[in-house]
Structure formats: structure tokens, C-alpha cells
């Protein structure tokens, strides 16, 4: 093994686990992947994790990746973190978490999200200011929930971070984020002038600079932007929104120009924990969806306006584009390279379907289409409430059962309901990219299918059948971690990370031809969703029966009763 090989580490800190990919910086060869699990706690809409566990998992995963790659620690030149979006990490004066982080799929902040949307003047005002309308997932709503439910703890907060920000700060000692992950907070304003409300950059100079005002070696210099041609962030913190939610901008990290910005190098403590040299360069990093886009080669230096469907704990549909999105059904995110990343996200995807398989005593692949053997079963697997559509108090719903219903049809219907919920945002996504969804060249544009579900036969066939589109299934399995590795390589070399990932070929894979679109199943699910939303899906089970509020369970109803209203 040549000792001069340059290796970069891409970290994917997701909801359920941390994965660290050791990658050859020159060729993109995946040398090894280290893994460590996370714990998620909570019920009745609560979903929380201890950020200290994320750090321990990162250390374990990185050490395992370097060991299994068989390279000396001195070969590692760069590292970047991609993290689950939206989570609220609150730090005390000692820079350690004051409480468990509120995760993206914690729906307790739904009332705060609705109130915030109204206070700023409704969805149109939020779209103009931030590109997104507040829902329970967004960090602004979570901060507001904390202020209302735990005011003493909120008053003690000395720093507010996103998950990836927190881990980058543990690596470098520097509080910094990027436009991509920041755009998921609902307090990052894309319409603001570059630099407006970003006093964090000056604050870093004040804190880290010496008596001569210079930024010491290893500290983030906002004027240095490796791989980003020196541009300013494509937006800024919105002072008006921060005032609206009572969030002091001094609590927030500086916004680097992009995810491949060189933030600094490892602190002594981080280097010792990871078993790596202090000279390892740390990139700003980004959110997991933004990193996946980089890993696919999506962005200004790669593919634009090509839709992606990701099947994981959540289901997402997104694309990199130069068009400025403004659709209330989508999150108008920034990408990490200066383009936009409009995205539709659901809360219930692979884990929800796996739960149905467990309930039915079946293997996850023991599924048949929901319309077979039972006259048309429909499952809306909204076990955690739902984000898209915005139904935070929804419960799972099963309808259309008959004496002859095969359990495999029920499982197949769970797949269909989850896939339908993701795919119904596709036309909105294409329109947000400035495309006509009905145009033949757009209608036939393939979907890139990624995430854990992309490795499952039933998931792949369900998406083909309900979308009617050809699929590209990339051969690489760890696209978030690979995208983060490209950010790390960009920070080391100054190269554009999207161009690097394109040269590495991480987004290439098998092409599956289009199947005839299953209009009957699509329309059946759409009809049930429309009929159930005003009553069964807009409240929890206990609210329906008792006028109270409780945890969502699966609801079983008959299709005829729904049709009758």
C-alpha cells in the first residue's frame, strides 16, 4: 500500500447511525466504511438523540474506516461531516449539549410551526424570505417549542447548532455551518444581501484572531473559500425572522461559502480521539441531502434539473437547479455549491414499511401489489405523522380489507402508500426547476433512485410501477458519505466537489427501463388520502374518539365508509 496515497474521510451522521467512508482522494475508490449506531428515544411525537452519542459514533466509525482501509493515519488529509438536517442542538457555556437534540422527525412543534407561518404573513411571505414554509420538521419551529415548553433551558443556551455543525465544531473548535444545511432552519434568508445578519464571521475573527487581528493557522477565515471561487454565501441569516423567534444571532455559527470550504484542522483533542494527525483539513460539511446531491454529481459543475428519489428513514425527492424554487409543498433549500436544491420530504418510508412487515410476520420482500387478492388494499403508513403532506398528527391507515385479503397484499400496499407519498411531489419538483412536467423530454427523464430502499427489489419495482419512469440505480451505496468525502477532497485541493464526484463516477449505475404507470393504484391511493385527510389524518386516534391528544396508532377502516365521507 503506497504511503503517499491521499485519503479523505466522508462522515454520514444520520438518524440511526454514523458511517465513515475512507476514500482515495485521487480516484474516488471506496477503501472502507466504518459504522456505529445511534439511539433515538421518544413517543407521542417526540424524537430525540444525545449529540454526545453522535460524537462517540463518529470516533468509532472513523477509527474503523482507517483501520479497515489499511492505510497509515498520516495518509488521511481531509474530513467532512454530512448530518441529518433540521435537528436542534442546544449548547451550554461549556459548548456541550444542554439536553438531547430535537430531531427532524419530532412532530411536537407542529403548533409552533403553524403559528410562525401566520405571524410572518402566511406561506407566501415565508417562501419569499426563506424558500420554505415552516412545518414541524424545521429548526425554527423546534426552537420556538423549546422556548415555550422549556423556557429556563432556552434562556441558558449559549449556542444553537444543527447536527452537522455540532460535529464540525467538535472536530475544529470552530462554530461554522454552510448554506445548504442552514437553509433548512427557516431562519436563513435567501433573499437577504450576502453578509447581512452574518455577524458570526466577524465574531470568529474576534474570537480566534491574535492581537494583530490575523486569523491563526487552522482557524476558519471567511475570506478563504476553497473550491468556491471566493463567492459569498447565497443568502444570510434573516434578522427579522431571528427577532420573530427570539433567537440572538450571536448564538449561531458563521456561514461558510460552501460545504467544501476549508474551516481549519483538527484540534488536539479531536486528533487524539480519532487517532489522526492534527494536520487533517476539516471542510465545512453540509446536510445529508446536500451531500447526497454532491455524491451523485448534481450541481453547477455536474447535472442540473435531474430528479432524485431517496428511500431511507425519510423519503425525499430533490434536484439541483439554478431556478429559485417557490412552492409551499417543497423545501426551497440551497445546495452546498451555490445552486438550489428544492426538496420534498416525507417522514415515513423504509422504517414504516418494515414495521408493517413485522406486524404481519413477513419478510420485507414478501410483498405483492396491494390491488391483488383483496379488491384493492390501501395503506397510508403515516406512523410518525407526516410532513408532506403536512399532517403532523396523522396515524397510519389501512383500508380495503376483505376476508380474502392476503397479508402480502397489505405489505405491498404499505410500499405503495410510502412510494406514492414521495412521488406525488415529483411534478412540483420539476416545476420548481422551471420545467414542464408534461413535456415528453421531461416526462421521460429518469429518476435516480438512492438510499437503503434502492437495494430492495420490492421498493425498486414499486417506484418503477407508480412513476412510469426509467430508473438509474447508482452502484455506490454510501452516497452521503461519498459526497462528504468529495467535500473533504475539495477542502484539501481547492477543486469543485461536484466535479470531483463526477470524475470519481460515484453517481453511475444500472439503468432500468420504464414500466407502464399503474394509474389504477395511483388513483386509488389518491382518493383515499383525499377522503381521509379532513377527519382521520388531521388528528390523532384519541382526538377522534375522545377529543384528547395521544400517540398515533394504525387505524383500520373500510373503504366504503371513506367514500361516503
Whether the upstream peptide bond of residue 552 has omega within 30° of 0, thus cis, is no
> In terms of Cα–Cα distance, which of 58, 71, 87, 99 is closest to 3?
71
C-alpha cell at 10: 466522508
DSSP for 300-368, written as a single string:
TTSB-S--EEEESSSEEEE--BSS----TTSEEEE-TTSSEEEEEEES-SHHHHHHHHHHHT--TT---
Q: CB neighbours (10 Å) of residue 210?
A: 9
For residue 121, which phi and psi values (nearest 5 degrees)?
110, 15
For 489-509, give the secondary structure using H, E and C: HHHHHCCCHHHHHHHHCCCCE
288 included as an active-site residue: yes
CA–CA distances in Å: residue 123 to residues 130, 191, 222: 10, 15, 33
DSSP 376: -
* Contact yes or no for 487/437 (Cβ under 8 A): no
C-alpha cell at 237: 441569516
Nearest-angstrom CA–CA distance, 118 and 98: 30
Strands (E), 390-536: 397-399, 447-450, 471-474, 509-512
Pairing of strands 397-399, 378-380: antiparallel
Nearest-angstrom CA–CA distance, 232 and 125: 24
Q: Which residue has the cell 432556552?
A: 154
Give CA angle at 127 (327, 317), nearest 5°. 40
**Torsion-angle region of residue 489: left (phi > 0), alpha (psi -120 to 50) or beta?**
alpha
Nearest-angstrom CA–CA distance, 388 and 555: 19
C-alpha cell at 250: 450571536
Q: Which residues pair with 188 in a beta bridge?
A: 237
Which residues make Cβ contacts (< 8 Å) with residue 259, sequence separation at least 6? 80, 178, 180, 283, 284, 285, 286, 290, 291, 294, 336, 337, 487, 497
- Active-site residue among 24, 106, 238, 288? 288
> In terms of Cα–Cα distance, which of 459, 131, 500, 106 is closest to 291?
500
Using DSSP's 3-state secondary structure scheme, residue 397 falls into: strand
Nearest-angstrom CA–CA distance, 231 and 256: 10
* Contact yes or no for 259/500 (Cβ under 8 A): no
Give CA angle at 15 (306, 78), nearest 5°. 70
Provide the annotated active-site residues: 288
Amino acid at each position: 500500500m503506497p504511503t503517499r496515497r491521499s485519503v479523505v474521510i466522508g462522515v454520514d451522521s444520520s438518524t440511526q447511525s454514523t458511517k465513515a467512508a475512507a476514500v482515495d482522494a485521487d480516484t474516488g475508490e471506496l477503501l472502507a466504511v466504518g459504522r456505529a449506531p445511534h439511539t433515538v428515544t421518544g413517543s407521542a411525537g417526540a424524537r430525540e438523540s444525545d449529540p454526545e452519542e453522535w460524537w462517540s459514533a463518529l470516533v468509532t466509525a472513523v477509527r474503523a474506516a482507517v483501520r479497515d482501509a489499511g492505510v497509515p493515519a498520516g495518509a488521511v488529509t481531509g474530513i467532512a461531516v454530512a448530518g441529518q438536517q433540521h435537528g436542534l442542538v442546544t449548547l451550554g457555556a461549556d459548548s456541550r449539549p444542554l439536553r438531547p437534540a430535537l430531531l427532524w422527525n419530532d412532530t411536537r412543534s407542529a403548533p409552533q410551526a403553524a403559528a410562525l407561518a401566520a405571524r410572518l404573513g402566511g406561506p407566501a411571505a415565508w417562501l419569499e424570505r426563506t424558500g420554505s414554509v415552516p412545518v414541524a420538521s424545521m429548526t425554527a419551529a423546534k426552537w420556538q417549542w423549546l422556548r415555550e415548553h422549556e423556557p429556563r433551558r432556552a434562556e441558558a443556551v449559549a449556542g444553537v447548532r444543527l447536527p452537522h455543525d455540532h460535529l464540525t465544531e467538535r472536530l475544529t473548535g470552530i462554530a461554522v455551518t454552510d448554506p445548504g444545511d442552514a437553509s433548512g432552519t427557516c431562519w436563513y434568508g435567501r433573499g437577504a444581501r450576502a453578509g447581512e445578519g452574518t455577524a458570526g464571521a466577524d465574531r470568529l475573527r474576534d474570537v480566534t484572531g491574535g492581537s494583530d487581528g490575523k486569523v491563526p493557522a487552522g482557524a476558519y477565515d471567511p475570506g478563504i473559500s476553497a473550491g468556491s471561487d471566493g463567492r459569498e454565501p447565497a443568502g444570510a441569516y434573516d434578522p427579522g425572522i431571528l427577532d420573530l423567534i427570539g433567537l440572538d444571532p450571536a448564538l449561531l455559527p458563521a456561514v461558510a461559502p460552501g460545504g467544501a470550504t476549508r474551516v481549519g484542522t483538527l484540534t488536539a483533542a479531536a486528533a487524539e480521539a480519532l487517532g489522526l494527525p492534527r494536520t487533517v483539513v476539516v471542510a465545512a460539511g453540509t446536510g445529508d441531502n446536500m451531500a447526497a446531491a454532491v455524491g451523485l454529481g448534481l450541481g453547477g459543475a455536474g447535472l442540473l434539473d435531474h430528479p432524485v428519489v431517496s428511500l431511507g428513514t425519510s423519503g425525499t425527492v430533490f434536484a439541483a437547479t439554478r431556478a429559485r424554487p417557490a412552492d409551499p409543498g417543497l423545501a426551497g433549500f440551497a445546495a452546498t455549491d451555490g445552486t438550489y436544491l428544492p426538496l420534498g420530504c416525507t417522514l415515513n418510508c423504509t422504517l414504516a414499511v418494515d414495521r408493517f412487515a413485522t406486524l404481519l410476520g413477513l419478510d420485507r420482500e414478501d410483498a405483492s401489489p396491494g390491488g391483488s387478492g383483496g379488491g384493492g388494499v390501501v395503506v397510508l403508513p403515516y406512523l410518525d405523522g407526516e410532513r408532506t403532506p403536512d399532517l403532523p398528527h396523522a396515524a397510519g391507515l389501512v383500508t380495503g380489507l376483505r376476508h380474502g385479503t392476503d397479508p402480502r397484499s397489505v405489505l405491498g400496499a404499505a410500499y405503495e402508500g410510502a412510494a406514492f407519498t414521495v412521488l406525488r411531489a415529483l411534478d412540483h419538483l420539476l416545476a420548481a426547476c422551471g420545467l414542464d412536467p408534461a413535456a415528453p423530454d421531461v416526462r421521460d427523464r429518469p429518476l435516480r433512485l438512492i438510499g437503503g430502499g434502492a437495494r430492495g427489489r420490492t421498493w425498486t419495482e414499486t417506484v418503477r410501477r407508480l412513476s412510469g419512469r426509467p430508473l438509474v440505480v447508482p452502484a455506490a451505496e454510501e452516497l452521503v458519505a461519498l459526497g462528504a468525502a468529495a467535500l473533504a477532497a475539495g477542502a484539501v485541493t481547492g477543486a469543485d466537489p461536484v466535479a470531483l464526484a463526477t470524475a470519481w463516477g460515484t453517481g453511475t449505475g444500472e439503468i432500468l427501463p420504464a414500466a407502464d404507470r399503474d394509474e389504477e393504484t395511483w388513483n386509488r391511493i389518491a382518493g383515499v388520502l383525499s377522503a381521509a385527510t379532513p377527519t382521520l389524518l388531521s388528528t390523532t386516534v384519541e382526538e377522534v374518539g375522545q377529543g384528547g391528544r395521544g400517540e398515533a396508532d394504525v387505524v383500520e377502516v373500510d373503504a366504503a365508509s371513506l367514500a361516503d365521507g
